[in-house]
Structure 1
């Protein structure tokens, strides 16, 4: 897939222990993004944070939390991201979902990189 130029980023902020049908919610979101053919998804684990509940979750040893904040970031064409929002409506009960316009400068997978090197020879 070639992705270059104007795109859209959706970031989903949830808790590490959030579940969907007895599976981690972040796993379900990433797998659904993959099934829909989106360009990519990454999950980032926070070391401290709070959300709408105002309860602080932290990785500090004295107040170790088993529910650290997670951010799932997905970038693709705006129409694909907007379509994927319907999936997120079903999945995300608690959390925050934000959209940002982004400019994709470079998006190259391993196979594409190998092909580019061969073409230069």
Structure 2
């Protein structure tokens, strides 16, 4: 897929422990984005954060949390993102869903993999 120019960024922030049918919610969102034919999705694990509950979740050793913030970022054409938002309505019951317009400078597929690692 090739994408340049105006696009839409979808950011979904959920908790690491959030589940959908015994599966991590972020995994379900990524798989549905792929099924919907979106350009790609990336998942980032937060180091610290708080949300509507005002509880601070942190990854510091002295205060480990097993519910750190997870951000899923998807960029594609605005109509495709808008259509995908309907799928999120059933999935995201708590968290934050943000869309914003972005300019994509370059999004091209990388070189095709040439097999596994080689040994010298």
Q: State whether TM-score is above 0.5.
A: yes
Gaps of 5+ in 2: 113-120
1:107 aligned counterpart, secondary structure: coil
Q: TM-score, normalised by structure 1?
A: 0.90
**CA–CA separation in structure 1 for the residues paired with 2:16 and 2:93:** 14
Cα drift, residue 55 of structure 1? 0.6
**CA–CA separation in structure 2 for the residues paired with 1:4 and 1:25:** 29
**CA–CA separation in structure 2 for the residues paired with 1:104 and 1:57:** 32
Q: Comparing both structures, which one devotes a greater share of its residues to helix?
A: 1
In the alignment, what sits opposite 2:8?
A: 8
Structure 1 runs (4+) greater than 3 angstroms displaced? none
Q: TM-score, normalised by structure 2?
A: 0.91
In the alignment, what sits opposite 2:41?
A: 41
In the alignment, what sits opposite 2:81?
A: 81
Cα drift, residue 34 of structure 1? 0.4
**CA–CA separation in structure 2 for the residues paired with 1:44 and 1:35:** 20
Deviation per residue, 1:46-104 (Å, 9 max, x gap): 00000001110000111100000010000000000000000110100000000010001
**CA–CA separation in structure 1 for the residues paired with 2:111 and 2:46:** 31
In the alignment, what sits opposite 2:91?
A: 91
Matches within 5 A, 1:39-118: 39-111=39-111
1:51 aligned counterpart, secondary structure: coil
Query: How many residues get paired?
Result: 112
Quote the RMSD (CA, aligned, Å).
0.9
Gaps of 5+ in 1: 113-121
